[in-house]
Amino acid sequence: MKIVVVKGSPHRKGSSNLLAEQFIKGAREAGHSIVELDAAHMDIHPCLGCEHCGMNGPCAQRDDVPQIRDALLGADMAVFVTPVYYFGMSAQLKMVIDRFYSYTMKLSAKHLKTALIAAAWDSNEDVMPYLVQHYQKLCRYMNFTDCGMILGTGCGSPSMTKNSRHMEEAYRLGKSL
Ligand SMILES: Cc1cc2nc3c(=O)[nH]c(=O)nc-3n(C[C@H](O)[C@H](O)[C@H](O)COP(=O)(O)O)c2cc1C
């Protein structure tokens, strides 16, 4: 499979990207090809809601979104990687998703496989459900098939993350594909 990993953390070497690295290691070992897109360090603007695209046409904005769009439209699987910010995904990743607007129909017609990788400081059970619900609804709306979620609770810093069981979980998810 061609797998596109969309990273949404401002920390290049942060916790969510550490988990993504493990996922990628496993997926490469399983023979898949990986494209990594560090959306948090690309030039991506928020959707203006201007309706120029009519949900299925050219976007009025000029930035790096076409690179993400073309990668996703050529992929078999997308992996969304994010720190947990106030119980949801980062704004950096949300901008990528809001900008699906101009190619929602094309993207949902692809029936992509997807996965979610998230890192949060807290380790209690009330951290992830809100992000998970959003992701699951997005999957239903976009015809994505979820292949797994790495919900990195207690992953508040790279050292916490390296010592967590989620590293192995992420590796195993990649390897299992
Ligand atoms: C703006 C902001 C909001 C955050 N909100 C939460 C939160 O709601 N719950 C939580 O457990 N951690 C929260 N955190 C902590 C981060 O999720 C945590 O440090 C994570 O490891 C960062 O991942 P990264 O290194 O991949 O960026 C927040 C951090 C920031 C900067």
Give the C-alpha separation, 171 to 177, whole Å.
11
Q: Domains in the chain, ordered, with CATH?
A: 2-176 (3.40.50.360)
pTM, two decimal places: 0.98
Q: How many A from CA of 135 to the centre of ligand 1?
A: 17
pLDDT of residue 129: 98
pLDDT at 155: 98
The predicted pLDDT at position 18 comes to 98
User: In angstroms, rounded to a whole number, what is the distance separating the alpha carbons of residues 118 and 138?
Assistant: 16
The stretches in the chain having pLDDT less than 50 are none
How high is the pLDDT of residue 176? 98
Helices (H) and strands (E) counted in the chain, each on its own, are 7, 5
Residue-level pLDDT at 35: 98
**Residue 11 beta carbon below 6 angstroms from any ligand 1 atom:** yes
Return all residues near 100 (Cβ < 8 A) that are at least 6 apart: 107, 142
Pair 73, 103: CB distance under 8 Å: yes
pLDDT of residue 127: 98
Q: Is the CB of 128 under 6 A from ligand 1?
A: no
Sign of CA dihedral 67, 85, 163, 168: negative
Residue nearest to atom 25 of ligand 1 (CA): 14
pLDDT of residue 1: 98
Cβ(174) – ligand 1 distance below 6 Å: no
Calculate how far, in angstroms, residue 85's C-alpha sits from the geometric centre of ligand 1.
Answer: 5
